[in-house]
Amino acid sequence: MDIEIRKAELRDIDLLMKWRMRVLHEVFAIPDNQPAKDLEKANRIYYQSALQAGGHIACFAYKENEIVGCGGICLYQEMPSPDNLSGQCAYLMNIYTCPEFRRHGVGETVVRWLVGQAAQRSITKIYLETSEPGKKLYGKTGFVDMPDMMKLQTVKSYSR
């Protein structure tokens, strides 16, 4: 399948929002009839700020002139470490392919393009979260499980 990747710009914010909300509804099983105005507003603010500052790169996958998928990568700084002296990191997210185009290389093309964008910025430490069905795609593109990671479920006040 011939897939073309096009970088999304700030002028594409309405299209980005449409696809972001589509992804969120599917991934988090948000019913279509459930209001998500606050979530949509927060994502719009994020895109406006992060795209303008260069902290987020988003793209769309096209087959001919039809969007068949999307993705994004957040660029950020963490403390330098022996495995990442620059401290530059990226977080791959929002990888999505329309159901009728899945298993045709769309997701892989999006992932490889976004990883290439990070590599052009000399970023070599890239993270992501995945669902079980996504593991095959990410493994195929070079990602490995990180068994030593944990996530805090609930933030509590630990003041004395």
- Residues 131-148 pLDDT 10s: 888 899 999 999 999 888
pLDDT at 13: 97
pLDDT at 61: 98
Q: What's the total number of domains in the chain?
A: 1
Note down the domain range covering 34: 4-140
pLDDT at 160: 61
Does residue 151 lie within any of the structural domains? no
Mean pLDDT of 47-65: 97
- Residue 53 CB partners (closer than 8 Å, separation 6+): none
Question: What does DSSP assign to residue 101?
Answer: G
Does residue 148 lie within any of the structural domains? no
Please state, for a pLDDT cut of 70, what percent of the chain lies above it: 98
Does residue 74 lie within any of the structural domains? yes
Does residue 145 lie within any of the structural domains? no
pLDDT at 142: 95
pLDDT at 91: 97
Does residue 43 lie within any of the structural domains? yes
Q: What is the CATH number of the domain that holds 132?
A: 3.40.630.30
Average pLDDT, the chain: 93
Among residues 42, 59, 77, which one has the least CA distance to residue 113? 59
Does residue 152 lie within any of the structural domains? no
pLDDT at 152: 87
Mean pLDDT of 61-68: 96
Mean pLDDT of 92-111: 96
3-state DSSP helix/strand/coil percent for the chain, to nearest 5?
A: 35, 25, 40
